[in-house]
Amino acid sequence: MHDTAGKPPEAERSFARFREARWLALWAAMFGFMLDALDVMLYVFAINSLRAEFGLSRAQAGAVGSVTMMASAAGGALAGWLADRIGRRSTLMLTILTYSFASAGTALSGGLAGLLFWRALVGLGLGGEWSAGATLVSESWPAKDRGKAIGFMQSGWAVGYMLAAAVAAFVLPRFGWRVLFLVGLLPALLVIPIRRKVVEPPIWTERRFRGSIGDLFRRPLRRITLIASALASATMFAYWGLFTWLPGFLGAPASEGGAGLTIVTTSAWVILMQAGALAGYILFGVAGDRFGRRITFAAYVTAAAALTAVYGSLPRWGSSGMLPVLAPLLGFFGTGYFSLFGAMLAELYPTPVRATGQGLTYNLGRGLSAAAPFIVGAVADRSGFAPALALSSGFFVLAAGLVFLLPETRRTELA
């Protein structure tokens, strides 16, 4: 039978499931993360314009990225603590508003000091959004599908990255970097549907006991906290060292060790890379649910280490034509592993301190890796891009070893 609209009941039921509480939570976190990436990556695409405008060295421009990462550590830890007390949804909305208004504020910058101030505020929202969103999704989905749900949420970053590339390619040459950053205000509108449609996970609302940060550094959680923080640090040093400078590497002239591309061509190649990342996030969730979190993560970062070293050397070898060919693979393996953290960290911590634990360890990693944009920029100033990007490869290898110091958590029921 068909209803009055001519639609089969089965199709109605299939569509209706996307309006269930778990799906609404997933949509909110995914779009929040997507727009988070948009706001953060606008700076990456504007970095050469900002250097020319304010006479910044690569090290100074990288320092702005480092400040963003340090602020994200504080924002993520604070948001995790806050989410365990006022709720995952409320904290998610607050962080989205923070990074949106701060991104628009970047357009008011008059020099290095202004950039440091506004990008630090963006960092607070960046770190906080992931802490609240990942916990919201992890607690809303069953164990058998949690990795896939987190992978879908993380895929929002790739979409946001591609959106930033497209926006930069259109806006930057025509209207300049100030208008580009004003676009970053638009994500604030996402707060309206989140407030109206998303609900808190029952596992959190039914808990009366709230833990403390101190619980993370007492047995049995202390070892988990220290190793998870080290893993996040190594992973994010590799990531931010690579992806903060990748557009700059692609756009820098060959005489400086770069690929010498225009902003439009750079944006197109970055879109190719993030298309690979989109697949990498989602398939990591599928593989992690089937084969385990640790082995899937190790495979990803080992491949990322090899690809990063090769990618940075291609112009020097006279093989720049291979850059677009390898771009999707670098995106797939160089970012898809982040799906591990949303699922595995949630499975390692109990409900009273879940958001606090996720927020602290993941964003402590961000804070400790904040030196990566500065260090990689400084190495690029001194020795060129190839040795600078090779530094990221070493940290990918370190992360591959650290993950096996944590227990396998596949199919863990949250408590």
Amino acid 1: pLDDT: 46
C-beta of residue 16 within 8 angstroms of C-beta of residue 136? no
C-beta of residue 29 within 8 angstroms of C-beta of residue 137? yes
User: Look-up: residue for tokens 């008059």?
Assistant: 110
Domains, the chain, in order of start with CATH, read 20-195+209-405 (1.20.1250.20)
Residues 6 or more apart whose Cβ sits within 8 Å of residue 63: 116, 373, 374, 377
Residues 6 or more apart whose Cβ sits within 8 Å of residue 267: 45, 165, 166, 168, 169
Amino acid 65: pLDDT: 82
Residues 6 or more apart whose Cβ sits within 8 Å of residue 367: 69, 70, 72, 73, 74
- 102-107: list long-range contacts, CB under 8 Å, 24+ apart: 102/39, 103/39, 103/42, 103/181, 103/184, 103/185, 103/187, 104/181, 104/182, 104/184, 104/185, 105/181, 106/42, 106/43, 106/181, 106/184, 107/177, 107/178, 107/179, 107/180, 107/181, 107/182
Which tens digit of pLDDT belongs to each residue from 363-403?
A: 888 778 878 888 888 887 787 777 888 889 999 999 999 99
Residues 6 or more apart whose Cβ sits within 8 Å of residue 90: none
Average pLDDT, consecutive stretches of 10 residues, N- to C-terminus, the chain (415 residues) = 54 61 94 91 89 89 85 90 93 95 94 95 91 94 93 92 87 93 92 92 81 89 96 93 75 63 68 88 95 97 92 68 81 93 94 92 82 83 78 94 96 86
Which tens digit of pLDDT belongs to each residue from 66-88?
A: 888 888 889 999 999 999 999 99
C-alpha count within 13 angstroms, C-beta hemisphere, residue 409: 24
